[in-house]
């Protein structure tokens, strides 16, 4: 099928092409960097409380770290392996790396310009001061010198470099200093260069006593640079320069060589800290000869070097948020509400027998989910509890309840995903705790991450055994439930209970692909069902029937789904996509995606819920789930999407989606050239703020803007 398509940069008509032409797709890596720029824009937004802006800056830096650790590292691995396949957007791997470099340099420059020219001066105006040596008073200097001598110097180990002492191992993302000295030491040595590593046990942000300045702080790097000469007695200091290396942090476990997944993951974790280097960050004034030396030691080129005008790890600035007790500089506190049916319920099981309960976090409390598991753990009529855990946190009340249930003799089965990125160590600890309590702990299906969020409780009742279930779009993690927007469905629906039973049989045993009644499951039915539902909307539009698609996702990258959406748009289906992060689809392309609109919501809470809405000629279908529309979620993970069937709950979600589509405070719209612009300038509708008000009968704790 040939299509008329405008150039993505100029809008001018181009030759006819088909739906697989690379010009119809946005590069995934560049789309992520655009998302991270939207996060950084939150740090620039003067409508947002000052300390929250600092947090957004830190989040943008943490996002960029992970991007280099995983995505850039993966691209470099492809080059080394000679696997230079061209993705759907047509950019080769070397071209993608070059484009990443160009965009990332601008992004880093913006981060430090914002810090130095805006945030630090504004913090100082509000009494939160970051001191530099040129501003220290005599009393402050004396206190900091004493602090260095008592708390810092004893744990520092200067490593002079010479043939007998080679370049040391440098931990991933650790703070280090290249120190240049002159003169001979007691052995007549004069190598000129030493490395000082800052142990991770040292706080990166030091608060001075109130008598030396209330809410006055100094970065650890600043203190080390000021007093590092004490480590080199009798030598002349020529310079001290911060540097940090980012390493490949993706875990790789070879299926054919693994007998024990837990031990294999533990082994990989030990290697993560010293993976291949992918990025070097240094102080902006570091001499060229030292830069060249460091790049050589890490096996990097000049394209991997990022010079920064400030601390090499801005993430550490996040600590100031908890150290400063200025509520007026932060978002107003809020108390998540509890649905009325649950407020008056003494027995959750009886409540669920009378109808489904839909929770919308963080606007509604995560407490009922924990109560559900705690009640199941203590109820003598409950025989079994089965649950998946992807991220639960290191100190989880849910895990404690499961352990109590197992210790009480209930059959407790937990599927723990050991490879939940950067939560592997915490998950290993949880697995050991549950096993010690007598729970059955398994790690899912090798080669497929278990990303579905499921709880099933089996209870003996008068009419026989009955299943009670919770299905969610987010993790069983009370802390992130205060920060992420997610939906959770609590239900006693027999068909859903039977489907979850079949899925747990699959996860713990050996079964054929189950025929599920209501749930959609990846890697089996989810992708084909989504495409079929998009095709159905396409056919409705061609027949003149009501047709519409709304999808709320974290990311959209899967080509066949994108192509199905393009066909639906050409047939007349109105499509609204609320995609927080990466989006490879180009909206607004003449003759291809004119009816597709893409927006991204970046606000106080991390938009994490996944919702799939299909108008279906008036008989609308709404699914919530754990899966984004990405290749990994649809084909390489165990995911579940669940239907919202009760009319009142369907209306709630439809109303929520329409609220997000009207947001003009936190929304950004995607143009066909791959760039985003703010959705509006009136700043009248803040979806997250309105949801806080909507779910609470008290006055809104947030202003609209």
SS3 content of the chain, % helix, strand, coil (to 5): 40, 25, 35
Catalytic residue among 37, 216, 451, 527: 451
Measured CA to CA, the distance from residue 336 to residue 113 in angstroms comes to 37
Query: Helix H segments across 393-479?
Result: 397-407, 424-437
Q: Tell the burial category of 446 from Cβ atoms under 10 Å away from its Cβ (0-12, 13-18, 19+).
A: exposed
Instruction: Name the β-bridge partners of 622.
Output: 613
Confirm if 178 and 229 have CB atoms less than 8 A apart.
Answer: no
Confidence (pLDDT) at 105: 98
Confidence (pLDDT) at 7: 52
Measured CA to CA, the distance from residue 81 to residue 63 in angstroms comes to 26
Measured CA to CA, the distance from residue 177 to residue 194 in angstroms comes to 8
- Cα 443 vs. chain centroid, distance in angstroms? 22
Residue with token string 């082994």: 267
Confidence (pLDDT) at 700: 39
Compute the residue count for the chain: 705
Q: Domains in the chain and their CATH numbers?
A: 1-46+50-126 (1.20.58.310), 156-329 (3.30.1840.10), 340-518 (3.30.870.10), 521-694 (3.30.870.10)
Confirm if 455 and 387 have CB atoms less than 8 A apart.
Answer: yes
Measured CA to CA, the distance from residue 77 to residue 75 in angstroms comes to 5
Please state, in angstroms and as integers, the Cα–Cα distance from residue 619 to each residue in 453, 484, 505, 541, 595, following that order. Answer: 27, 30, 33, 14, 21
Helices 261-272 + 424-437 axis angle, to 10: 150
Collect all residues with Cβ–Cβ distance below 8 Å to 402 and sequence separation of at least 6.
373, 377, 385, 387, 412, 414, 434, 437, 439
Measured CA to CA, the distance from residue 92 to residue 74 in angstroms comes to 14
Collect all residues with Cβ–Cβ distance below 8 Å to 40 and sequence separation of at least 6.
56, 57, 60, 107, 110, 111, 114
Residues of the chain with pLDDT under 50: 1-5, 8-9, 12-15, 253-259, 264-266, 268-269, 272, 697-705
Four-point Cα dihedral 551, 565, 673, 13, nearest 10:
-150
Q: What is the pTM of this model?
A: 0.91
Measured CA to CA, the distance from residue 326 to residue 324 in angstroms comes to 6
Confirm if 129 and 136 have CB atoms less than 8 A apart.
Answer: no
Measured CA to CA, the distance from residue 357 to residue 341 in angstroms comes to 8
Confidence (pLDDT) at 202: 92
Measured CA to CA, the distance from residue 696 to residue 277 in angstroms comes to 49
Q: Is the dihedral of CA 58, 219, 286, 171 positive or negative?
A: negative
Measured CA to CA, the distance from residue 694 to residue 702 in angstroms comes to 12
Confidence (pLDDT) at 368: 95
Instruction: Name the β-bridge partners of 384.
Output: 411, 458
Task: Read off φ and ψ for residue 207, nearest 5 degrees.
Answer: -95, 130
Q: How many CB atoms sit inside 10 A of residue 642's CB?
A: 27
Measured CA to CA, the distance from residue 419 to residue 391 in angstroms comes to 10
Four-point Cα dihedral 599, 530, 495, 633, nearest 10:
-70
- 3-state class (DSSP) for residue 682: coil
Confirm if 453 and 390 have CB atoms less than 8 A apart.
Answer: yes
Instruction: Name the β-bridge partners of 596.
Output: 575
Confidence (pLDDT) at 16: 55
Candidates 245, 246, 241; CA nearest to 287 is 241
Collect all residues with Cβ–Cβ distance below 8 Å to 478 and sequence separation of at least 6.
366, 370, 393, 396, 397, 398
Measured CA to CA, the distance from residue 634 to residue 523 in angstroms comes to 6
Confirm if 425 and 452 have CB atoms less than 8 A apart.
Answer: no
Confidence (pLDDT) at 260: 52
Confirm if 549 and 532 have CB atoms less than 8 A apart.
Answer: no
Task: Read off φ and ψ for residue 328, nearest 5 degrees.
Answer: -70, -15
Confidence (pLDDT) at 255: 46
Measured CA to CA, the distance from residue 67 to residue 32 in angstroms comes to 8
Confidence (pLDDT) at 676: 97
Candidates 502, 51, 93; CA nearest to 321 is 51
Measured CA to CA, the distance from residue 281 to residue 34 in angstroms comes to 21
Collect all residues with Cβ–Cβ distance below 8 Å to 436 and sequence separation of at least 6.
403
Candidates 634, 578, 611; CA nearest to 451 is 634
- 3-state class (DSSP) for residue 28: helix
Please state, in angstroms and as integers, the Cα–Cα distance from residue 697 to each residue in 59, 479, 694, following that order. Answer: 32, 23, 7
DSSP state of 155: G
Confidence (pLDDT) at 256: 44
The pairing of strands 357-361 and 606-607 is: unpaired
Q: Indicate if 216 belongs to the active site.
A: no
Instruction: Name the β-bridge partners of 668.
Output: 600, 678
Angle of CA points 133, 134, 135, to nearest 5°: 90
Task: Read off φ and ψ for residue 175, nearest 5 degrees.
Answer: -85, 130
């Amino acid at each position: 099928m040939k299509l008329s398509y405008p150039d993505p940069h100029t809008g001018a008509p181009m030759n006819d092409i088909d739906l697989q032409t690379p010009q119809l797709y946005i590069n995934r890596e560049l789309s992520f960097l655009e998302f991270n720029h939207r996060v950084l824009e939150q740090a620039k937004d003067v409508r947002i409380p000052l300390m929250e802006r600092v947090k957004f800056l830190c989040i943008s830096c943490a996002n960029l770290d992970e991007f280099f650790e995983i995505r850039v590292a993966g691209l470099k691995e492809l080059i080394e392996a000679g696997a230079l396949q061209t993705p759907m957007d047509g950019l080769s791997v070397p071209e993608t790396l070059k484009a990443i470099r160009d965009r990332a340099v601008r992004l880093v420059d913006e981060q430090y310009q914002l810090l130095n020219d805006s945030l630090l001066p504004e913090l100082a105006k509000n009494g939160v001061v970051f001191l530099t040596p040129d501003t220290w008073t005599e009393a402050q200097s004396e206190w900091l010198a004493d602090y260095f001598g008592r708390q810092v110097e004893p744990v520092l180990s200067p490593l002079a470099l010479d043939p007998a002492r080679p370049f040391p191992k440098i931990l991933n993302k650790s703070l280090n200093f290249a120190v240049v000295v002159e003169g001979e030491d007691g052995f007549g040595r004069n190598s000129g260069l030493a490395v000082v590593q800052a142990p991770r046990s040292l706080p990166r942000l030091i608060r001075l006593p109130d008598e030396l300045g209330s809410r006055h702080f100094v970065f650890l790097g600043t203190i080390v640079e000021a007093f590092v000469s004490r480590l080199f007695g009798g030598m002349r200091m020529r310079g001290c320069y911060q540097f940090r290396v980012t390493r490949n942090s993706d875990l790789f476990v070879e299926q054919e060589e693994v007998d024990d997944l837990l031990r294999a993951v533990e082994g990989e974790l030990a290697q993560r800290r010293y993976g291949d280097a992918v990025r070097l960050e240094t102080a902006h004034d570091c001499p060229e000869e030292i830069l060249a030396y460091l790049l050589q030691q890490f096996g990097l080129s000049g394209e991997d070097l990022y010079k920064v005008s400030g601390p090499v790890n801005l993430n550490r600035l996040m600590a100031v948020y908890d150290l400063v007790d200025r509520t007026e500089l932060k978002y107003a506190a809020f108390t998540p509400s509890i649905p009325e049916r649950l407020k008056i319920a003494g027995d959750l099981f009886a409540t669920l027998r009378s109808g489904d309960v839909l929770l919308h976090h963080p606007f509604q409390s995560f407490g009922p989910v924990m109560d559900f598991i705690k009640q199941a753990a203590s109820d003598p009529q409950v025989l079994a509890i089965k649950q998946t855990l992807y991220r639960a946190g290191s100190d989880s009340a849910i895990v404690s309840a499961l352990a109590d249930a197992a210790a009480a003799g209930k059959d407790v089965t937990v599927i723990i995903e050991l490879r939940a990125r950067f939560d592997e160590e915490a998950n290993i600890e949880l697995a050991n705790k549950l096993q010690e309590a007598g729970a059955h702990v398994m790690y899912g299906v090798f080669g497929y991450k278990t990303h579905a969020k499921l709880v099933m409780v089996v209870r003996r009742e008068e009419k026989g055994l009955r299943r009670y279930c919770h299905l969610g779009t987010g993790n069983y993690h009370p802390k992130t439930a205060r920060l992420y927007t997610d939906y959770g469905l609590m239900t006693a629906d027999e068909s859903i209970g039977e489907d979850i039973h079949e899925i747990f049989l699959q996860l713990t045993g050996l079964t054929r692909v189950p025929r599920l009644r209501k749930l959609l499951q990846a890697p089996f039915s989810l992708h084909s069902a989504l495409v079929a539902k998009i095709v159905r909307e396409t056919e409705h539009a061609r027949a003149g029937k009501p047709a519409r698609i709304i999808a709320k996702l974290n990311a959209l990258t899967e080509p066949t789904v994108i192509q199905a959406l393009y066909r639906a748009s050409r047939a007349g289906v109105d499509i609204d996509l609320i995609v927080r992060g990466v989006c490879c689809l180009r909206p607004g392309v003449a003759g291809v995606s004119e009816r597709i609109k893409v927006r991204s919501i970046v606000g106080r809470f991390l938009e994490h819920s996944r919702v799939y809405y299909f108008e279906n000629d008036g008989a609308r279908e709404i699914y919530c789930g754990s899966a984004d529309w990405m290749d990994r979620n649809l084909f390489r993970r165990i995911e579940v999407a669940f239907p919202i069937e009760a009319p009142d709950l369907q209306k709630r979600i439809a109303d929520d989606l329409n609220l997000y589509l009207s947001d003009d405070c936190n929304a950004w719209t995607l143009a066909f050239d791959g760039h985003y612009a703010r959705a509006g300038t009136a700043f009248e509708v803040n979806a997250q703020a309105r949801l806080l008000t909507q779910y609470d009968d008290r006055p809104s704790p947030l202003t609209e803007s």
